Amino acid sequence: MSNPSSRRLGWGVSLSPLGKRNRVELKDYWLAVRRRWRIVVATLVIVVAFAGIVTLTATPQYESSTRLFVSTTSESDSSSAYAGNLFATQRVTSYADLVTSRALAGQVSERLGDDSDPEELMDSVTASVVPETVNLEITAVDMDPVRARDIAQAYGEELTILVRELETPDGESRAPIRATIVDEAVETSSPVSPQPVRNLALAGVLGLLLGIGLAVARELLDTSLSTGDDIGDVTDAPILGNIATDEAANLAPLEVLTSATPWAEAFRVLRTNMQYVEVDEEQKVIVMTSSLPGEGKTTTAINLALTTAMAGQRVVLVEADLRRPLIAQRLQLDGAVGTTNVLIGKVSLVDALQEYGTSGLQVLASGPIPPNPSELLQSHAMEALLTDLRGKFDVIIVDAPPLLPVTDAALIAAQADGAVIVIRHGRTTRDQLQHSIERLEAVDAKALGVVINQAPSRKNRTGYGYGYGYGYGYGFASEVEVDSKRSRREATARTRAESKASATKPTKAGRRRA
């Protein structure tokens, strides 16, 4: 068996002890976006909605511009047109800087005559030089289009005056260079901001990129188990079944398992796959457990046991979760007498067994909750009970407590043929599954396989052809589940024939951990 702590998956991608990829490929980003598409959509909607709200609540701003031409006079000291043009080009940049001066803002405020704040005027106006020209453009922005026009026009007029004052030499009446307004400022009817189309388009691009980033980050940080590859990164134990979320699970087990529903079909496939686990054992003792409570191991144990019994095999379901027993309550049986009574020798096994309806399934409830469950489960009495059950039944399914909180399940698995670990899709983490397997290996117990529970249902599929089994290739169970003895005998004959025919085939489910 390969060491899961260091494994190569091809294309040079190595795995860390937690199963995380050290190098992420492009397809991994695409798969992350597909799995986390809700995050992408939610982020996109939030960003676009925020941009829409900001755009709708923003105050419209209007813009107006005036253009000035800077030139030298005919009486200039320049000896040629080229020299005069070069002189004007050098000056126009300085004039653009003067537009944002405090002195010019004060003069514009006086010209407007509305007690405008010079600091506000400085913030509302910009000046730019048209490249490779001597043209200077002054632009003013204000929430009132008329005021924006007045500010731009006032700045143009005051700048021409300021240039004449600054460029006129002492003792002379004319300046060698001048600024002339060539385009008057005009009132505009369309605001320059906000721009709804541009804002929403930018928000859409930003929201999409942000959503993809969050989806990829969530995928990289997520250690939960949701795919077969995630489980394969942790353990070589095969995936025996995939139980999807189904409303039919709320019905009575015997009622739902006799119908052609996806829920019933999933357990039929699980039952079929279990036939290829420990094929050398005629009587199998299977422990059903999980990493933590709430992952569905009791429900899985009940339905697997009932489905197997409906196929004509002699099956007993044993309640070994002596801390929080649930089987008697789920099946509406008497839980006062059961495993605890048999282990302490108060009641015989035959007297403690109860049949569930007309299914043929025998159930050994928990009995009274003892103060020392671990001591009872690892006692010689428990070993003798399992030996006695092997002699009476073909399949013994033991519902054990979760592996991580207590050691009960590992102790029972050491006396059984192995344990099937039930994980909850998207909830059980890699660390939890890894520690659960380590608990089993610590007592020389075997992890027979993994069952994925509460996986997302695929409504676009019918009750036939469900892709459960992950490579096992077994299709829809053909036998009709009925309660008559004749149908049970026929199903038993078919099951035994299938077991003999497939015993020589190497199957993925028959893999064993070294």
pLDDT at position 113? 86
pLDDT at 494: 52
Write the CA distances from 47 to 12, 53, 202, 203, 219, integer angstroms: 38, 10, 10, 6, 21
Kindly report the average pLDDT of the chain as a whole number. Answer: 81
Band (pLDDT 50/70/90 cuts) for residue 68 is: very high
Phi first, then psi, for residue 136 (nearest 5°) are -120, 125
How much is the pLDDT for 259? 77
Q: Residue 437 and residue 419: Cα distance in Å, rounded? A: 10
pTM exceeds 0.85: no
For the chain, give every domain's residue range. 26-58+195-221, 62-183, 239-508
**Inter-residue contact 336 to 373 (CB < 8 Å):** no
Residue 460's SS3 state is: coil
pLDDT score for 478? 34
pLDDT at 13 over 80: no
* pLDDT for residue 416 is more than 60: yes
At 79, the pLDDT band (50, 70, 90 cuts) reads low
CB contact set of 36 (below 8 Å; sequence gap of 6+): 214, 215, 216, 218, 219
Q: Which two tokens stand for residue 47?
A: 């960003």
Which residues touch 377 (CB under 8 Å, ≥6 apart)? 320, 322, 408, 411, 412
Q: What pLDDT, on the 0 to 100 scale, is given for residue 272? A: 92
Show the tokens assigned to 84. Answer: 């005069």
User: SS in 3 state form for 183-223?
Assistant: ECCCCCCCCCECCHHHHHHHHHHHHHHHHHHHHHHHHHHCC
The pair phi, psi for residue 142, each rounded to 5°, is -155, 160
Average pLDDT over residues 135-156: 93
Mean pLDDT of 437-452: 93
Asked if residue 177 lies in contact with residue 87, where contact means CB atoms within 8 angstroms, the answer is yes
Q: Between 82 and 310, name the one with better pLDDT.
A: 310
Q: Alpha-carbon torsion 76, 80, 81, 85, what sign?
A: negative
163, pLDDT greater than 50: yes
Region 129-141: mean pLDDT is 90
Output 75 or 139, whichever has higher pLDDT.
Answer: 139
Cα 332 to Cα 116, 254, 398: the distances in Å are 85, 12, 18
| Alpha carbon distance 82, 70 (integer Å) | 14
Residue 106, H or E segment: helix 102-112
Instruction: Work out the pLDDT band at 389, boundaries 50, 70, 90.
Output: very high
| Section 17-22 average pLDDT | 41
CA 427-433-439 angle, to 5 degrees, is: 140
Q: pLDDT digits over 221-255, tens only?
A: 878 888 888 888 899 999 999 998 877 777 788 88
Residue 391 predicted with pLDDT over 70:
yes
Return the residue matching tokens 């598409």.
37
What is the pLDDT at residue 319?
Answer: 95
User: Residues 119-148: what's their mean pLDDT?
Assistant: 91
Q: Which residues of 477-513 are buried (b: 16+ CB within 10 A; e: fewer)?
A: bebebeeeeeebeebbeebeeeeeebeeeebbbebee
Q: How many helices (H) and strands (E) does the chain have?
A: 19, 12
Q: In the predicted model, what is the mean pLDDT of residues 71-94?
A: 68
- On the question of pLDDT at 367 being above 60, the answer is yes
Given the candidates 1.10.10.10, 3.20.20.70, 3.40.50.300, 3.30.2020.30, the CATH classification of the domain at 239-508 is 3.40.50.300
Q: Say whether pLDDT at 324 is over 60.
A: yes
Pair 319, 338: CB distance under 8 Å: yes
**Under 8 Å between Cβ of 319 and 450:** no
Give percent above pLDDT 70 in the chain: 81
CA distance 112 to 154: 7
**Is the pLDDT reported for residue 320 higher than 80?**
yes
Whether 415 contacts 383, CB under 8 Å? yes
Fold of 62-183: Alpha-Beta Plaits (3.30.70)
Element (H, E) at 71: strand 62-72
- pLDDT value at residue 510: 37
The answer for residues whose C-beta is within 8 angstroms of residue 143's C-beta and 6 or more apart is 59, 60, 61, 62
pLDDT, position 253 = 84
Q: Which of 19-23, 215-219, 282-286 has the lowest mean pLDDT?
A: 19-23
CB-neighbour burial class of residue 97 (10 A; exposed 0-12, middle 13-18, buried 19+):
exposed
Please tell me the predicted confidence (pLDDT) of residue 170. 78
Q: How many CB atoms lie within 10 A of CB 167?
A: 17
Q: Report, as an integer, the average pLDDT of 135-149.
A: 93
Q: How confident is the model at residue 8 (pLDDT cuts 50, 70, 90)?
A: very low
pLDDT digits (tens, 9 = 90+) for 253-292: 888 888 778 888 999 999 999 988 887 788 899 999 999 9
Pair 233, 429: CB distance under 8 Å: no
Q: Of all residues in the chain, what percent carry a pLDDT higher than 90?
A: 50
